[in-house]
Structures are given as structure tokens and as C-alpha cells.
Amino acid sequence: MEEFLQVWPPVATDWGFELQTLRGHTGRILSITPSIDGRRLVTVAEDNTVRLWDVESGTEEKRTEVVISVVKTSSVGYLRDAASAFPEKDIVVIAELTGGYWRWNLEDDARPINIKLPGVAASVSVSPNGRYAAWGLDTGEIYIWDADNNSEEGAGRVLKGHNSPVWCLHFSSDSETLVSGSTDIWKWSPQAGHERIYQTGTIIERIAISPNRKFVVFRSWDDTISVFHCTTLSSHGYARQPEVFISTTFKRNKS
């Protein structure tokens, strides 16, 4: 029973199921990332701001401006998306679909880097350690950029496997494995190699991998959520979800 219990800090005298409401953005929120200690959140929104929040008080501590551009894909028209990571106490990393990449030292404004992508991106992800940014292209390729080894516009690496647009990407909590979703699922790792682990009959639009890298959970365009075991190649259940569904993830310290 203990594993199902969670102790929360006091937010209000009577808050029911709602722990806290953070207000301030004037556009759709594209990314939410907690700090390592869980006391702060970073949010990226269509209003072109990145904001730092204190979770317990619900107050905005800092903000910086970025440019979240709109891209036109060959399949579904216009898209706007962003991803973020909170790898250190005072460092936030943000990336968006057109190759915009920012490293935000919380004591200063975000520093932009414009990365030249080899094609039009349909998805973007940032590794938890802030080192890697990945873009899923509408050609089916994945472009990975290494912040430690590349110059400001340096060439990244192109991964090939999918035959249709890559709609979603997610790094494992140790930043060593990437999963991607199209009409199939691929797992990419410099240590274990690359492989297609699942073929679906529909488009996958959201995906996440567990910290132990054994499970992948994904949402399809038919509003179905599936949990897939990467070793046994078996499915572990399905759930129908409402039409509005933004994201899913695993806790860092759980499988």
C-alpha cells in the first residue's frame, strides 16, 4: 500500500483534488517540466514566454521570452510545439519545431541558438540532462543535436528508420535512449543500437518510455492509450481517452 501513497506539502486549507492553479500564460501551454526537487516548474507556451513557478505558492518567479514558430507539414498542415528540460538547479533548456534552441540561465535571459534542420519537423524533444535535442521530421527521419559536441549551428546526426512523419519523441530519464512514434515505434540507443519495436495500424501522437526502459506508453489518433513491453513485445492494456489529451510521462524514480 505504501507505494500508492504520496505526501504533499500544504497548498491551501481546503483544496480538494486541485493542488494548485498557476495563472499567467495567455496562450496554449506546450511544455511543462518540474525541477529535480519538484519544488519548481518551467512552462513554455504559445505566448512566446517561458515561466518559472514556485509550486507550493503558485507564484511566478521568473520569465524569459522565446520565439515559438509555426511550421507547415506535408501531412496535417500547421503545427506549433516546444519541449523543455530542467537539468540543473538554475539551468533550463528549450527547443521548438523550427530549430530554435535556448539555454536559460535563470539569472539571465535565455541564450538562443538557431539550429539548421535538414527538413520540416513534426515533433521535438529535449533530453532530461539538457545535452540532446531531437526533432522528428515529416520525412520519417530524426535529427539529433548534441549541445556538448557541436558548434552553435553545428551539424547533428540523422537517424533513419520510419517511413512516414515522426509525430512524437521521448528521451528516457537517463538521457541514453530515445523512443519515437510514427505509424510504428522505434527505440534508439548508442549502446543497445536501434530497432523497430512495434508496428501499429494508426498514427502515434504521444509517447513516453519508463526509467528502466522496459515499458513504452503511447497514445494513438484513435484515442487509445497502450502500454507496451519492450522485451517481451507484448501489450499490457488499453484505455480509451477523451479527444483532448496533451501528454503522458513516467515518474523519474519509478518504472
Question: Grid coordinates standing for 108?
Answer: 539571465
Checking if the pLDDT of 201 tops 70, the result is yes
Number of domains present in the structure of the chain: 1
Position 12 pLDDT exceeds 90: no
Angle, CA of 252, 253 and 255, to the nearest 5°: 90
- Mean pLDDT over 188-204 rounds to 88
* Residue 1 pLDDT class (50, 70, 90 cuts): very low
Within a domain: 185: yes
Grid coordinates representing 97 are 519545431
Q: Would you say residue 194 lies in a domain?
A: yes
Distance CA 134, CA 143 (A): 6
Tell me if 52 is assigned to some domain: no
Q: Flag whether 19 is in a domain.
A: no
- The amino acid that residue 55 corresponds to is V
* 91 in a structural domain: no
| CA distance linking residue 172 with residue 128, whole number of Å | 8
**75 with 66: CB under 8 angstroms?**
no
CATH number at residue 227: 2.40.10
3-state secondary structure the chain: CHHHCCCCCCCCCCCCCCCCCCCCCCCCEEEEEECCCCCEEEEEECCCEEEEEECCCCCEEEEEECCCCCEEECCCEEECCEEEEEEECCEEEEEECCCEEEEEECCCCEEEEECCCCCCEEEEEECCCCCEEEEEECCCCEEEEECCCCCCCCCCEEECCCCCCCCEEEECCCCCCEEEECCEEEEEECCCEEEEEEECCCCEEEEEECCCCCEEEEEECCCEEEEEECCCCEEEEEEECCCCCCCCCCCCCCC
Q: 202 in a domain, yes or no?
A: yes
Q: Which three cell numbers stand for residue 154?
A: 553545428
Position 240 confidence tier, pLDDT thresholds 50, 70, 90 = low
pLDDT tens per residue, range 47-75: 999 999 999 899 999 999 999 999 988 77
What spatial distance separates the first Cα and last Cα of the chain, rounded to whole Å? 17
Task: Tell me if 133 is assigned to some domain.
Answer: no
- Domain assignment present for residue 153? The answer is no
pLDDT band at 245 (very low <50, low <70, confident <90, very high): very low
Q: Which domain holds residue 185?
A: 167-254
* Mean pLDDT confidence for 129-153: 89
Distances (CA, A) of 57 to 14, 20, 36: 14, 8, 18
